[in-house]
């Protein structure tokens, strides 16, 4: 049996679609996570920010 934690979504900053989900961190950070990921809607590597 595995324990599944909460997940948060990453949204593309260009088109706004939510493409990725990441596990929520144990420490509550005040700033949002920002990663450069591939967006299939924009067909390019763009910045993705954590949504609430």
The contacts of residue 18 (CB under 8 Å, 6+ apart) are 9, 10, 11, 12, 51
Residue of higher predicted confidence among 30 and 52: 52
DSSP tag of 32: P
pLDDT score for 23: 87
pLDDT score for 49: 95
pLDDT score for 32: 86
pLDDT score for 34: 92
CA–CA gap between residue 35 and residue 31 (Å, rounded): 13
The contacts of residue 45 (CB under 8 Å, 6+ apart) are 36, 37, 38, 39
CA-based diameter of the chain, in Å? 39
pLDDT digits (tens, 9 = 90+) for 3-45: 677 889 999 999 999 999 988 876 666 688 899 999 999 999 9
User: Which of these, 5, 17, 13, 4, lies nearest to 32 by C-alpha position?
Assistant: 13
pLDDT score for 6: 85
């Amino acid at each position: 049996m595995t324990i599944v934690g909460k997940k948060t979504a990453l949204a593309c900053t260009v088109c706004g679609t939510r493409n990725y989900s990441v596990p929520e961190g144990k420490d509550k950070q005040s700033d949002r996570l920002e990663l450069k990921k591939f967006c299939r809607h924009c067909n390019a590597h763009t910045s993705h920010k954590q949504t609430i």
